[in-house]
Amino acid sequence: MAVLDELKEELAKACRIIGRLHLTREPNGHVSVRVPGSDLVLVKARGPDEAPLSYTTASDLAVIDMDGNLVEGRDGLARPAEVFIHTEVLRARPELNSVIHIHPPNIVAYTIANKPILPIVGAYNPAVLRMVDAGIPTYPRSILINSKERGGNLTSAMGTARICLMRAHGITSAGATVEEATLNVIHLNDLAELQFKADLLGGAVPISEDDKRDILDRLPADVRQPGDKPRVPSSEWRYYSEAYG
């Protein structure tokens, strides 16, 4: 019970950070995390009494099973229609524990224009350089992921990536922790905003291959497995927690 209570607080905090950074159209979007030792998932609920992400508390969350069925949740709340984004990614990726689906306007604009997000920064943000260098796949349809089949199709498009664009719709981000999944979104949104500004100034130009390798070859391996001990929260995460959580 104590572990579940901690997960609820962490998940609610991630929702507030996403909302207060204006990373999605309120109240659209949901964050989830596995419940350890079970086949259950904790997720931001939707429904007539749902809270905006910016004001999410532990009472605004629901527990679902891996088939997307509501197991626990207060009256006035329901599972998200796109719950299958969460269940199918988590089913296919045992190394991941948290999934986010939101609609960041900066990023959605690039999918509408069919324009790639480029590796335009190096030391400015090595984490996002690694993300872009690894390749960011796109799910090509602008539809609700409201069935197990569609969730499986999205998961296939995502492959082994930690983030997937969804054309004219939004993004799906995943991580070993709620922190990782949330920071993925923040980093990619920041990069999209920088690229948009650079294009207005005459054109965004990727960094050189030499500089890219100089940065990426110095980064520690980022391979985590099921059962690995959680990392200590990063200073970056502590900042967002204090400033926006």
Catalytic machinery residues: 82
Per the structure block, which two tokens stand in for 226? 């099921």
DSSP string, 87-155: HHHHHH-TT--EEEEE--HHHHHHHHTT-PPP---STT-HHHHHHHHH---EE---S---SHHHHHHHH
| DSSP tag of 59 | G
Distance CA 163, CA 172 (A): 6
Amino acid identity of 245?
Answer: G
15 sits in which H/E element: helix 2-20
Per the structure block, which two tokens stand in for 33? 């995390």
* 5-27 exposure pattern, b = at least 16 Cβ within 10 A, e = fewer: eebbebbbbbbbbbbbbebbeeb
Is 213 in a helix, a strand, or coil? helix
Q: Of 96, 107, 83, 85, which Cα lies nearest the Cα of 186?
A: 107
Q: Of 121, 113, 106, which Cα lies nearest the Cα of 206?
A: 121
| DSSP tag of 187 | H
Distance CA 154, CA 88 (A): 8
Contact 84, 151 (CB under 8 A): yes
